[in-house]
Amino acid sequence: MTTSRFAPSPTGRLHLGHAYSAALGHQRARASGGRFLLRVEDLDQSRSRPEFVDGIEEDLRWLGLRWDQPPIVQSERIEAYREALSRLRAEDLIYPCFCTRADIVQVAAAPHGDPGLFYPGTCRGLPDDPERRATTPHSWRLDSAKAVARCGLPGWQEEDGTAFEATSADIGDAILARKDAPAAYHLACVVDDAATGVTLVVRGTDLRPSTPIQRLLQILLDLPEPTYLHHPLVLHENGRRLAKRDLAPTLAAMRDTGVDGAHLAKMLATGVVPGGFRLGTP
Ligand code: GLU
């Protein structure tokens, strides 16, 4: 039995790409008699809005995709993340980082949380300075070299049977807790997937660079290993990604023009996208 989840960030209205991901995850869960879960990834409080949470639920209902238990909301799970972080800290696998974004310019371009690949290691190996920690905003980073020395390079299985092995170039000193929140994407994602018994992680290929670091965290925290389905993205026919600035039609707008949501979700689950779009990798 498959437990899958749809884990959007409530920072805008959902578009066709989200619908494709949710429809696939839902289809896999239902086909196996398993569960389909909804998780609200709202750790970025500066961009998350309650009205977008309502919008997500409304859009999923319109698509006919029912989730099986009350959605898990990440901003309400800070204690669980704190606990995982303390465990890593007790094992000396994380370190405080005082760098600003300006110190590490490339990070600003990382779409889904900093995978740490560009971090030059400025704060790694600094002597612990409790006073500085008490007075200076800081994040916490994984000491990836120590982590890999401890458990080796992780691998994972895709749903179609393909096996992936991470290389050391895929794993950096990712941020696990942000300056403004005691958790960040990678840590929250693995803690929540495990807490809710997710066995199949369905998400776009754009998130595949996150998988090596997440697998490593699962091993360090003794969490079960899910299978992954990294699916192609829904693109405009000309190959452009769907993005708000690109006038991607929101599901809300499609509903307003009379599209049948349940029919759309069924088509998407079989890999068929509406005219004007195609599946691919940008
Ligand atoms: N919250 C992420 C997003 O909006 C998805 C995270 C995941 O599926 O692991 O793209």
pLDDT (tens place) for every residue of the chain, 282 residues total? 999 999 999 999 999 999 999 999 999 999 999 999 999 999 998 899 999 999 999 999 999 999 999 999 999 999 999 999 999 999 999 999 999 877 776 555 555 666 777 888 999 999 999 999 999 999 999 999 999 999 999 999 999 999 999 999 999 999 999 988 889 999 999 999 999 999 999 999 999 999 999 999 999 999 999 999 999 999 999 998 887 666 668 999 999 999 999 999 999 999 999 999 999 988
Among the three residues 177, 207, 241, which one is the final residue of a domain in this structure? 177
**Is 83 found in the same domain as 20?**
no
The count of other CB atoms within 10 Å of the CB of residue 102 is 8
- Whether residues 92 and 13 share a domain: the answer is no
The residue range of the domain holding 82 is 78-177
Checking phi first, is residue 90 left (phi over 0); if not, alpha (psi -120 to 50) or beta? alpha
> Given strand 139-142, what is the order of strands in its sheet?
94-97, 139-142, 175-177
Distances from the Cα of 6 to the Cα of 32, 98, 171, 205, angstroms: 17, 33, 25, 15
What is the pLDDT at residue 256?
A: 93
Domain count for the chain? 2
Q: How far is CA 162 from the centre of its chain?
A: 21
CA distance 217 to 204: 20
Residue 102 domain-assigned? yes
For residues 198 and 212, what is the distance between their CA atoms, to the nearest angstrom?
17
Task: Identify whether residues 50 and 138 lie together within a single domain.
Answer: no
95 and 59 assigned to the same domain = no
Whether residues 65 and 144 fall in one domain: no
Which one of 36, 56, 203 would you pick to mutate in the ligand 1 pocket, going by the greatest count of ligand atoms within 8 A of its CB?
A: 203
Residue 56 maps to a domain: yes
If one residue of 9, 11, 48, 213 were mutated to test the ligand 1 pocket, choosing by the most ligand atoms within 8 A of its CB, it would be 9
Our CA angle for 230, 169, 139, nearest 5°, is 85
Clarify whether residues 157 and 82 are in a common domain: yes
* CATH number where 166 lies: 3.90.800.10
Give the number of the atom of ligand 1 that is nearest the alpha carbon of residue 8.
Answer: 4
pTM, full prediction: 0.94
- Using the atom order of ligand 1, give the atom closest to the CA of residue 210: 9
Q: Which of 177, 203, 220 is the last residue of a domain?
A: 177
pLDDT (tens digit, 9 = 90+) per residue, 176-203? 999 888 899 999 999 999 999 999 999 9
DSSP letter assigned to residue 1 = -
Residue type, 263: H
